[in-house]
Amino acid sequence: MTTTEPSRIIRVAVPVPLHREFDYSVPEGQPLPVIGARVAVPFSGRKLVGLVVALNPPDAHDRVRPIGALLDAENVLGGEILGLGRWLSSYYQHPLGEVLTTLLPGAARRPVPLKIRRPESWELAAAEPDLARAPRQKALYELIRTSGGALRAEDIRAAGFERTHIRGLAAKGFIRKSENGAPARAAAPAEVALPVLNAEQAAALEVLEAGRGFHPVLLDGITGSGKTEVYLRFIARVLDAGRQVLVLVPEIALTPQTLARFEARFGAAAVMHSNLTDTARLQVWLKVRSGEARILIGTRSAVLTPFADLGLIVVDEEHDASFKQTDGLRYSARDLAVKRARDLDIPLILGSATPSFESLHNALVGRYRHVLLTERAGGASLPGFQLIDIRGHALEGGLSEDLIRAIGTHLEAGGQALVFLNRRGFAPSMVCGHCRWQARCPGCDWPMTMHQRPPALICHHCGRRQGLPESCPDCGQNALIAVGSGTQRCEDVLGERFPDVPVYRIDRDTTRSQRRLEAQLKAIGNGQPAILVGTQMLAKGHHFPDVTLVAVINADGGFMSPDFRAPERTAQLIVQVAGRAGRAERAGTVIIQTYQPDSPLLTTLIGDGYRAFARQELETRAAAELPPHTPMALLRAEAVQGEDARRWLEALARHLGPGLSVYGPAPALMPRVADRLRFQLMITAPSRRLLHQALLPLKQVEDVPRGVRWSLDVDPYDTY
């Protein structure tokens, strides 16, 4: 370390879990970086990439270490995202260094230059080349000339030319490699005949177009009501005005149809999701940042992308849980979309058939414009609901005889049936009929799920996997019984009952392979009679136009869970699954099996619809002082010795500022996972400002006991 002139000290946010930044000096002769540039710095014997957050901080130490290298000449995140990073760090109480590096794509967290890679392209270098004796080269020269003066190597090859032709022209100096690359010879978007908007869609578009500046609209429209069509129309306006658009979607894998629609309408759209390689992701990020990509469609983390000139954000299926990050920086992409739209003073569309209670609340208090689409676009009719009381009924694979009969009727009429069951595997539990032994996960103290394809006992909480025992490990009898039904068992029973009809299972076990999923979706898309069995994946985005019957195997579980969000989530699932029925000309039927046909939650939902259900539940939440009326944070702690975790939460509670309601520590809903005992402390406050203030002292907390892991979740989604 050397003493440095104060004017050459920079403050750097480095990716370490500490609530502070670190000062470094810039060696003489090197330019002073700008705020937001990346620097490589030595840190505890490692070399880390950090971001410059301040120049010449007044309280800097004068003895600091020099930086390793300055990596950028400019602020790589841009002013808006750098500001967003500071806000994220403060709102979610996450160390700034970790936040800022999260904002960088993985490939940019290494000390490499950030450059848009151009595909190899060739451009004209001479005006009147003499190519009389080289007809192929002359033809190639002409091709490049008529293509606007530059062409990609791949397009040259596609036109039937060889490397030797390129080399020949280049050697004579008639063409040269293009620095900027040539544009793709993408087919212009096909001329699609746009549907005539119905009255509700037209009214929605008018509301959007009348807005100025920050203008949040909750587009609350039933499945198939034409929300996507409304987005597309408004997006076209924004693009025509020369601005960029961000569209957030829950899961790309399950929305190929939506993607195809965007591409058909606008030509190319940049796509960002978790399956991209680091390099591909960086390229998309750079093109959005430079303004070259006009539309970005992406999952959760796409909301953190810097744009050159963002003019609109659309959040499709805004109620979806996947928008909330559940570890590390626990942000809500939906909430960030609102924050960004407000900061940039641009319009925002939150679209859903089952809006989150947060957004409904904001609409009810007038913060969002609430626009309803109540009819199916293109005249398809809405499904009707039917309850089947399964008290005292024998079930096979979860299915009652009445339901099996109904499925048969729909298949005979040429329709498809969709069976929704929120449990993967064969059976949720395995017991011995002789001695009552039950297969339980030793780490979680919870029943293990029996799987048949491939055979295994799997703990759905910690992932532990064991072989399926042939006989009871306790008493040795051959008396093992599968209890209850998961999707595999349901699939088996349906296969036996309807041997001539294909059964497609769609759950996390069958959709790991994107190719298999696409093949299944394609087979279903041919419209022949078929049965689809699956978990909530079936409820997401995908349209099944030939499904005429939707069956919900058991609606009760979700309504009885102690998680305060369970009724909301269950209602959303039921309505979303139901929305898959009767999309085309055929009306659909939705059958719900229940042990509680008189449950007020279920009858309100079925009889009066999602909006009435939501209003009723929102009142319950208000009375109980729960979100969205009352802001909440959750402190979680876990340890092998449960007492350590509990005592740590008690210690944390003493740090909290005044004015809060604190509940706990209490065991989490899943009290033990993978040998660790879990506790939580629920915190609510009368206002967001107060909650924020009261949580601030947690940043100073040090000396976490050995073996204890803890975290803070602001606006938790899952409260267990």
Binding site for ligand ADP (CB under 6 A): 195-198, 201, 221, 223-229, 377-378
Give all strands of the β-sheet with 465-466 in edge-to-edge order.
Answer: 449-452, 455-458, 465-466
Q: By CB under 5 A, is residue 262 in contact with Zn ion?
A: no
Q: By CB under 5 A, is residue 435 in contact with Zn ion?
A: yes
293 binds, among ligand ADP, Zn ion, none (CB under 5 to 8 A by kind): none
Closest CA to 194 of 115, 265, 118, 96: 265
Over the window 202 to 231, marking each residue x when it contacts Zn ion by CB under 5 A and - when it does not, the resulting string is ------------------------------
Q: Can you spell out the DSSP letters for 604-642? A: HHHHH-HHHHHHHHHHHHHHTT-TTTS-EEEEEEEESSH
Q: How many residues form the binding site for Zn ion (CB under 5 A)?
A: 14
C-beta closer to ligand ADP: residue 82 or 245? 245
Angle at 26 between CA 21 and CA 32, to 5 degrees: 95
Q: By CB under 5 A, is residue 441 in contact with Zn ion?
A: yes
444 binds, among ligand ADP, Zn ion, none (CB under 5 to 8 A by kind): Zn ion
Which H or E run contains 417?
strand 416-420
Contact between residue 58 and residue 38 where contact means Cβ atoms under 8 Å apart: no
Phi-psi region of 118 (alpha: psi -120 to 50; beta: other; left: phi over 0): beta
481 binds, among Zn ion, ligand ADP, none (CB under 5 to 8 A by kind): none
Q: How far apart are CA 317 and CA 575, in angstroms?
A: 13
Q: How far apart are CA 663 and CA 543, in angstroms?
A: 43
How many other β-carbons are positioned within 10 Å of the β-carbon of residue 577? 24
C-beta closer to ligand ADP: residue 228 or 593? 228
198 binds, among ligand ADP, Zn ion, none (CB under 5 to 8 A by kind): ligand ADP
- State the nearest-atom distance from the C-beta of 397 to Zn ion, in Å: 24
Rg for the chain (alpha carbons), in Å? 29
C-beta closer to Zn ion: residue 13 or 441? 441
- State the nearest-atom distance from the C-beta of 432 to Zn ion, in Å: 3
- Residue for token digits 């620097």? 39
C-beta closer to ligand ADP: residue 94 or 227? 227
Which H or E run contains 115?
none
523 binds, among ligand ADP, Zn ion, none (CB under 5 to 8 A by kind): none
- State the nearest-atom distance from the C-beta of 195 to ligand ADP, in Å: 3
C-beta closer to ligand ADP: residue 223 or 548? 223
> Helix, strand, or coil here: 696?
helix
Residue in 84, 166, 288, 432 binding Zn ion, rule: CB under 5 A: 432
432 binds, among Zn ion, ligand ADP, none (CB under 5 to 8 A by kind): Zn ion
Q: By CB under 5 A, is residue 443 in contact with Zn ion?
A: yes
Which H or E run contains 264?
helix 256-266
Residue in 462, 578, 605, 634 binding Zn ion, rule: CB under 5 A: 462
Q: By CB under 5 A, is residue 434 in contact with Zn ion?
A: yes
Could you tell me which stretch among 238-246, 356-364, 457-465, 648-656 binds Zn ion (CB under 5 A)?
A: 457-465
112 binds, among Zn ion, ligand ADP, none (CB under 5 to 8 A by kind): none
C-beta closer to ligand ADP: residue 16 or 197? 197
> Helix, strand, or coil here: 21?
coil
23 binds, among Zn ion, ligand ADP, none (CB under 5 to 8 A by kind): none
Beta bridge partners of 297: 247, 271
Residue in 136, 261, 393, 461 binding Zn ion, rule: CB under 5 A: 461
- State the nearest-atom distance from the C-beta of 437 to Zn ion, in Å: 4
Strand 661-673 and strand 676-684: the pairing is: antiparallel
Tokens linked to 673: 């996972």
Could you tell me which stretch among 19-27, 258-266, 440-448, 510-518 binds Zn ion (CB under 5 A)?
A: 440-448
Q: How far apart are CA 695 and CA 718, in angstroms?
A: 19
Which amino acid appears at position 509 of this protein? Answer: D
Cis peptide leading into residue 545 (ω within 30°): no
Beta bridge partners of 550: 418, 590
599-605-611-615 Cα dihedral, nearest 10 degrees: 0
224 binds, among Zn ion, ligand ADP, none (CB under 5 to 8 A by kind): ligand ADP
- State the nearest-atom distance from the C-beta of 590 to ligand ADP, in Å: 16
Could you tell me which stretch among 262-270, 296-304, 461-469, 528-536 binds Zn ion (CB under 5 A)?
A: 461-469
Q: How far apart are CA 310 and CA 326, in angstroms?
A: 27
C-beta closer to Zn ion: residue 441 or 555? 441
14 binds, among ligand ADP, Zn ion, none (CB under 5 to 8 A by kind): none
378 binds, among ligand ADP, Zn ion, none (CB under 5 to 8 A by kind): ligand ADP
Q: How far apart are CA 569 and CA 617, in angstroms?
A: 12
